Amino acid sequence: MRKFFPVDSLARDSRFNQITMRQSQADPRTVLVGTDAKQRPNSNRLTPQRPDASDRARGLMHGIFVGEIQALEGAGRTCFDFETGAGDSTDNVPFALKLDMARQAWDEARHVEISVKLSEWMGTEIGQYAENTVLFEAACSTDPVLRLAGVNRALEGLAIDVFTTMKEFGDIAGDPYLEFCEDWMLADEVTHVKMGSDWLRRITENDPERRKKALEFQSVVDKIFSFGGTRSDSDESPIGLARRFRELAGFSDDEVEDIATVSLAALEERKAFAARARADAVDQFSAS
């Protein structure tokens, strides 16, 4: 088995269809822009009040399910890809960090189990929605510190936002299982973010350059994980920014503000991109 497993080799059974972020973003259709503003909903936030709430929740639940699979795979790979050492170079990590990643693998495996059960409860079949592989892509860095910043702080931070949205959804809808399960998963994700923050600080204690690079990488991943506007403080985004739980996970106020800014920027970029893609599609159609 090789070190550093490429995202396009992630193993799945025949029910799954994987797409990249680029393919996903190439869709010119979006609820964010359009000629008829009246037809657009006032808010894209996922709440039970939406007419399509059940289907949107099912879609998001499937997104959580495949995200958990990729998080499991990412944590597992970090156990294998690096030698055990002092963590002073990019080819090794401390023994205790590997133990944390193994613990995270177990947690993510449970989250996959929970997501499968919840999906059944919501009437969704495994593989019913396309799987965006962007999460694992962030777990492919060859520097373990960047991987921690990208996976534990950015990805697991996104998970905090998503689970908070779903927990609130279940709570308002009165769904006893959804609220219960999301609350448990949220507790684990806060732990994983703290793991990432602690290791980032410890490993880069005497290496400010490496820390800076890791934080820059996290910022890039945070922007990618905003899924082109899917997560932000704006009501135009289906998923909000869970400020309170992020504080619990060890994010400083400044860091939360940075993520909020980056997420809003991603939302605006997505709108501009969708408008361009829409115009391109019309041009191509006219030319054909």
CA angle 127, 67, 6 (to 5 degrees): 90
How far, in whole angstroms, is CA 39 from its chain's centroid?
Answer: 29
Kindly provide the b/e burial profile for residues 106-125, where b requires at least 16 CB atoms within 10 angstroms of the residue's own CB.
Answer: ebbbebbebbbebbeebebe
Q: What angle do helix axes 156-173 and 53-81 make, rounded to 10 degrees?
A: 150
Work out whether 201 is an interface residue with another protein (CB under 8 A). no
Binding mask 103-142 for another protein (x = CB under 8 A): x-xx-xxx-xx--x---xxxxxxxxxxx-----x------
Q: Looking at 77, 223, 231, 246, which residue binds another protein (CB under 8 A)?
A: 77
Give 86's DSSP letter.
-
Cβ-contact 212, 145 below 8 angstroms:
no
Nearer to another protein, 179 or 258 (CB): 179
Work out whether 187 is an interface residue with another protein (CB under 8 A). no
Q: What is the nearest approach in angstroms of another protein to the Cβ of residue 235?
A: 16
Q: What is the nearest approach in angstroms of another protein to the Cβ of residue 12?
A: 5
Q: Looking at 46, 60, 69, 149, which residue binds another protein (CB under 8 A)?
A: 69
Nearer to another protein, 129 or 199 (CB): 129
Work out whether 47 is an interface residue with another protein (CB under 8 A). no
Q: Looking at 23, 88, 202, 216, which residue binds another protein (CB under 8 A)?
A: 23
Q: Looking at 11, 206, 209, 254, which residue binds another protein (CB under 8 A)?
A: 11
The Cα 188–Cα 241 span in angstroms is: 18
Binding mask 214-253 for another protein (x = CB under 8 A): ----------------------------------------
Cβ-contact 223, 262 below 8 angstroms:
yes
Nearer to another protein, 10 or 248 (CB): 10
Q: Looking at 22, 38, 174, 254, which residue binds another protein (CB under 8 A)?
A: 174
The Cα 58–Cα 182 span in angstroms is: 14
The tokens of 235 are what? 């009501």
